Amino acid sequence: MKLKKIASLMLAGVMAVSMLTACGGSTTNDNEQNNKPEEPTVADVVSDVKAGIKSWNSDLEITVESSKNMDAAIKKGADLNTNYKTTEENIVNTLNYVFAQKMTVANSDFIDNTGVVTWLNNANSDGNKGYKDGDTAYAFAVVPVTNTAFDKNAGDMIGYALRDLKNIVPTKTDNASNALSYENLNVDYTMYVTAQDATMANNSVVTYVIAVLKADYSARV
């Protein structure tokens, strides 16, 4: 009888330890889930790019927003199939399709090509006549994110690249007709941003922050 009682107590102890172990495992998993970095959202990107631009160019008036068409097109391009490998050129081709433009990797990237801001500010010295009333220009940036949470450095990089961008820029005389009757131009800027995962040529998965900058020029009479 005594042995039976001892056996019962031992069995109860084993069951209690098992339950505690199970509970402990569940708590650990829950903590791991809670500590997991959040995936970037479009709202994150919009907010952090706005902050990055403001920190480097507080005078710049610019609208930063998302584009459902751009989001969908970039995601579709990245998810096409396992044989598809994303490159910056592929991304830019998708952007050109969405915005009906002819941006190029070499000339239209406002982070890698510092001359783009000069070009947008209408200050080219290469014989270009410059922008006129009613003209529109596009530029882009493709910034890799270094972790699964949105890296605010991407927003800061975009802001730094646009630190000299202006909302009022000089016109250039139309040498063919000298017909310009106004001084300077207003420039309204809109930036469309998103963050998307992409499988690269080496099979690594990289999150990109992608930005398209649209500049609309209008006369200041």
Task: Please report which residue ranges of the chain form alpha helices under DSSP H.
Answer: 2-35, 42-56, 68-78, 88-99, 115-120, 152-161
Non-local (6+) Cβ contacts of 170 within 8 A are 122, 123, 130, 183, 184, 185
Q: How confident is the model at residue 43 (pLDDT cuts 50, 70, 90)?
A: confident
Cα end-to-end distance, the chain, whole Å: 107
Q: Which of 207, 196, 204 is nearest to 74 (CA)?
A: 196
Nearest Cα neighbor of 179 from 217, 215, 137, 129 is 129
Assign 44 a pLDDT band (cuts: 50, 70, 90).
confident
* DSSP secondary structure code for residue 146 in this structure: S
- Looking at residue 109, the DSSP 8-state letter turns out to be B
Residues 6+ apart with CB under 8 A from 155: 45, 48, 49, 50, 51, 52, 53, 209
20-29, 91-100, 111-120: segment of lowest average pLDDT? 20-29
pLDDT for the residue numbered 215: 96
Residue 217 in contact with residue 187, Cβ under 8 Å?
yes
Q: Is the pLDDT of residue 125 over 70?
A: no
Pick the more confident residue, 44 or 135: 135
Radius of gyration for the alpha carbons in the chain, expressed in angstroms and rounded: 27
Is 193:74 a contact under the CB 8 Å cutoff?
no
Q: Output the CA torsion 199→200→205→209 (10° steps).
A: -90
Asked if residues 193 and 66 have their Cβ atoms less than 8 Å apart, the reply is yes
Tens-place pLDDT, residues 138-191 = 999 999 886 655 567 889 999 999 999 999 998 776 555 555 557 789 999 999
Neighbours of 74 (CB within 10 A): 24
Q: How confident is the model at residue 201 (pLDDT cuts 50, 70, 90)?
A: low
Q: Are the C-beta atoms of 51 and 157 separated by less than 8 Å?
A: no
